[in-house]
Amino acid sequence: MASAERRPLVVGNWKMNGLRKSSSELLKIIQDAVKLPRKVDLVVCPPATLIAHFAGLARGSRVRIGAQDCHPEPSGAYTGDIAAEMLADAGAILVILGHSERRSYHKETDAQLRTKTLAAWRAGLTAVVCVGETRAEREGRQTLDVVARQLNASLPEGARGENLVIAYEPVWAIGTGLTPSAGDVAEVHDLVRGKLVERYRGAGEAMRIVYGGSVKPANAGELLNAENVDGALIGGASLKADEFLAIAEAYK
Encode pLDDT of 33-47 as tens digits: 998 877 899 999 999
Average pLDDT over the chain reads: 95
What per-residue confidence (pLDDT) applies to 241? 97
What per-residue confidence (pLDDT) applies to 65? 98
Asked whether 156 and 114 are in contact (CB, 8 A), the reply is: yes
Asked whether 64 and 41 are in contact (CB, 8 A), the reply is: yes
Chain segment 165-191, per-residue pLDDT in tens? 999 999 998 888 888 899 999 999 999
Q: Can you tell me the mean pLDDT for 85-114?
A: 97
Residue 166 belongs to some domain of the structure? yes
What per-residue confidence (pLDDT) applies to 37? 77
106 catalytic residue (yes or no)? no
Residue 105 belongs to some domain of the structure? yes
Asked whether 59 and 92 are in contact (CB, 8 A), the reply is: no
Residue 2 belongs to some domain of the structure? no
Longest Cα separation, the chain: 48
Domain of 100, CATH number, reads: 3.20.20.70
Would the pTM count as exceeding 0.75? Answer: yes
- Give the Cα separation of 224 and 228 in Å (integer): 9
249 catalytic residue (yes or no)? no
Count of H helices and E strands in the chain?
11, 8
Q: One of 101, 108, 133, 169 is an active-site residue; which one?
A: 169
- Give the Cα separation of 8 and 21 in Å (integer): 29
- Structural domain harbouring 196: 9-32+40-251
What per-residue confidence (pLDDT) applies to 3? 61
Q: How many domains does the chain have?
A: 1
More confident residue, 178 or 114: 114
Q: One of 25, 71, 99, 101 is an active-site residue; which one?
A: 99
Q: CA nearest 213: which of 156, 170, 167?
A: 170
- Give the Cα separation of 115 and 129 in Å (integer): 12
In this structure, the number of other CB atoms found within 10 A of the CB of residue 208 comes to 22
Residue 70 pLDDT > 60: yes
